[in-house]
């Protein structure tokens, strides 16, 4: 009683099916696994083939005039920027007596502010000794430049304060002269002006003392700052561990390769739009999935998977044999992306159908005629090509094997069988091509008995059975043609086929 219309199904279809995307990405695990492995190998190779150059490191304690406990690191960032100037680079090269250009030397070192007052300098060289010498020369040049700037700032500040003090002294001398030039008679007459002169003299005396004190502080604070700026960690060569570097680079390459591989697999899956779930394949082809066969690699040592695959193939062969025996019309097997699996299924089915009274002949309509060109084994059924199929005996039961891959001759499919079983490899054909196959088979009046899904996703739990089968394009089209012909001839009813799915666990799946 569970029926649904096509409009309801299309309305419920999401724009991006996350389940289908996850399954498609998981099926492309060879891609992202290979990219992850490639990233790991590239990372390890870079550590071996491109080892880091000899490096030396030193640390300098930098004292600032405007040091504050809540400084956000502006002063040390300024020191880092000053370290990367041609002035300091040229001073270091002069001490090293090197003809190298300062611009080129600046590319070989860098500074990092560890704290507000601690600067770390990293320098590279052609050898450990050269790197250590460069680091020492650079640290000395930076300290000398910093001390010079402190002294220049202190001298400039002291000079400015002393000049202002001298101007105040000159003005004080003028005030004292004005007060001394007054007579006792004028002092009595102009007592108010005299009070202002005394007040001005007191103010000038105070400001002169203040300027003297500030100029002295500017001179006395300079030695403290100079002594506070020093190399606290002598230059030393950095020891590089090749195994540790290789392991670190390998892990980084592995992560980057894995992320890139997953991104490429996801984007490729969305762009290609290749259905991988039973539900999608059944909906696009308009036919139910009647069996699933897992493709086990030849190098696999999991024999229990091979046994399960053989058991599923045996169930599928028995089910197809019952259907073919109960049908008065020839049946064909049409493959899409799994010619080898289809050939094996056709041989198994032909062996199950062959009897002494009614031998079975396989009509090979595959593009490269894989069955007709193979070396026959004892007990194998007769295989003929599509061109020589017309000369066979009429008492022979014929089983057609063809292809619906791009480039297939659609008009030749009726000669292989008037009804068919599609053998489709999951994730091989795009949704547009599956629609094309369904439309072409409907135009050729070839009903689809069912779909055999090759290499399905083992975690697929979607339902691939179409309960509204009479409303699908293929079956509905076939039924309408039968009613329109009105000949009274009815197709032999197909036997129900149970899905021969490979179970994912020890529990058997119906």
pLDDT tens, residue by residue, 426-477: 888 888 999 999 999 999 889 998 899 998 888 888 877 776 544 443 344 4
DSSP state of 208: H
The sheet that has 55-61: what strands, in order across it?
109-113, 118-124, 55-61, 230-237
- 360 with 354: CB under 8 angstroms? yes
* In a domain? residue 73: yes
Q: Of 402, 455, 415, nearest to 292 (Cα)? A: 455
232 and 302 within one domain: no
Most confident among 208-222, 251-265, 317-331 (mean pLDDT): 251-265
With bands split at pLDDT 50, 70 and 90, how would you rate the model's confidence at 37? very high
301 and 200 within one domain: no
DSSP state of 500: B
Q: Of 311, 391, 373, nearest to 348 (Cα)? A: 311
Residue 302 CA, distance from chain mean position? 32
| Domains: count for the chain | 2
In the three-class reduction of DSSP (H, G, I as helix; E, B as strand; rest coil), residue 2 is classed as coil
* CATH code of residue 89: 3.30.1890
Question: Radius of gyration over alpha carbons of the chain, in Å?
Answer: 46
295 and 177 within one domain: no
Domain boundary among 186, 214, 237: 237
Among 7-21, 195-209, 234-248, the range scoring the smallest mean pLDDT is: 7-21
* In a domain? residue 19: no
473 and 404 within one domain: yes
pLDDT tens-place string over residues 259-318: 999 999 999 888 888 888 888 898 889 888 888 887 645 554 455 557 777 788 888 888
Buried b (16+ CB within 10 A) or exposed e, 251-289: eebbebbbeebbeebbeebeeeebbbbbbbbbbbbbbbb
* In a domain? residue 98: yes
218 and 317 within one domain: no
90 CB-side CA count, 13 A: 3
- Report the distance separating Cα 291 and Cα 453, nearest Å: 6
212 and 354 within one domain: no
Domain boundary among 219, 237, 255: 237
* CATH code of residue 413: 3.40.50.300
- Report the distance separating Cα 494 and Cα 323, nearest Å: 6
* In a domain? residue 102: yes
* In a domain? residue 268: no
pLDDT for 500 beyond 50: no
283 and 376 within one domain: yes
**What is the span of the domain harbouring residue 233?**
55-237
185 and 315 within one domain: no
Among 142-146, 176-180, 191-195, 327-331, the range scoring the smallest mean pLDDT is: 191-195
* In a domain? residue 48: no
Q: At residue 379, what are phi and psi to the nearest 5 degrees? A: 90, -5
462 and 369 within one domain: yes
* In a domain? residue 243: no
Tokens 């008037």 sit on residue: 418
DSSP state of 70: T
pLDDT for 134 beyond 90: yes
**What are the tokens at 254?**
């592995």
Q: What is the mean pLDDT of residues 202-209?
A: 84
Greater pLDDT, 277 or 374: 277
């Amino acid at each position: 009683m569970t029926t649904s219309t096509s409009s309801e199904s299309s309305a419920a279809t999401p724009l991006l099916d996350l389940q289908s995307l996850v399954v498609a990405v998981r099926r492309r695990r060879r891609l992202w696994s290979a990219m992850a492995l490639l990233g790991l190998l590239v990372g390890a190779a870079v550590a071996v083939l491109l080892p880091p150059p000899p490096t030396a490191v030193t640390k300098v304690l930098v004292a600032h005039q405007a040091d504050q406990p809540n400084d956000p690191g502006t002063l040390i960032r300024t020191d880092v920027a000053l370290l990367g100037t041609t002035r300091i680079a040229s001073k270091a090269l002069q001490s090293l007596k090197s003809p190298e250009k300062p611009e080129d030397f600046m590319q070989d070192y860098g500074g990092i502010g560890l704290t507000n007052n601690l600067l770390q300098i990293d320098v590279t060289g052609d050898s450990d000794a050269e790197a250590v010498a460069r680091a020492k020369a650079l640290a000395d040049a930076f300290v000398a430049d910093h001390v010079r700037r402190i002294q220049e700032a202190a001298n400039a500040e002291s000079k400015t304060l002393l000049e202002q003090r001298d101007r105040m002294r000159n003005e004080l001398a003028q005030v004292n002269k004005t007060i001394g030039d007054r007579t006792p008679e004028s002092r009595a007459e102009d007592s108010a002006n005299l009070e202002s002169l005394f007040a001005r003299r007191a103010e000038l005396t105070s400001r002169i003392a203040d300027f003297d004190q500030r100029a002295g502080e500017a001179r006395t604070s300079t030695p403290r700052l100079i002594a506070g700026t020093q190399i606290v960690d002598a230059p030393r060569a950095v020891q590089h561990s090749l195994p540790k570097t290789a392991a670190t680079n390998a892990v980084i390459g592995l992560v980057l390769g894995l992320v890139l591989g997953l991104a490429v697999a996801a984007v490729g899956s969305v762009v290609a739009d290749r259905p991988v779930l039973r539900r999608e394949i059944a909906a696009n082809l308009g036919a139910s999935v009647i069996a699933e066969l897992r493709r086990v690699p030849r190098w696999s040592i999991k024999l229990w998977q091979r046994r399960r695959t053989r058991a599923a193939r045996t169930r599928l062969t028995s089910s197809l044999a019952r259907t073919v025996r109960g049908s008065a019309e020839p049946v064909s097997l049409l493959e899409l992306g799994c010619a080898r699996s289809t050939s094996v299924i056709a041989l198994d089915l032909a062996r199950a159908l062959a009897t002494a009274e009614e031998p079975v002949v396989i009509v090979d309509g595959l593009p490269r005629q894989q069955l007709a060109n193979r070396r026959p084994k004892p007990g194998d059924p007769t295989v003929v090509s599509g061109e020589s199929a017309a000369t066979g005996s009429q008492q022979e039961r014929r089983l057609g094997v063809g292809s619906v891959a791009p480039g297939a001759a659609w008009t030749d499919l009726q000669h292989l069988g008037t009804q068919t079983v599609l053998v489709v490899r999951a994730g091989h054909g795009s949704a547009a091509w599956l629609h094309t196959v369904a439309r072409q088979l409907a135009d050729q009046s070839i009903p689809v008995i069912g779909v055999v899904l090759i290499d399905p996703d083992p975690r697929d739990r979607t339902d691939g059975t179409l309960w509204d089968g009479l409303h699908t394009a293929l079956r509905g089209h076939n039924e309408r043609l039968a009613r329109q012909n009105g000949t009274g001839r009815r197709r032999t009813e197909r036997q129900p086929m149970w899905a021969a799915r490979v179970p994912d666990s020890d529990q058997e799946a119906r």
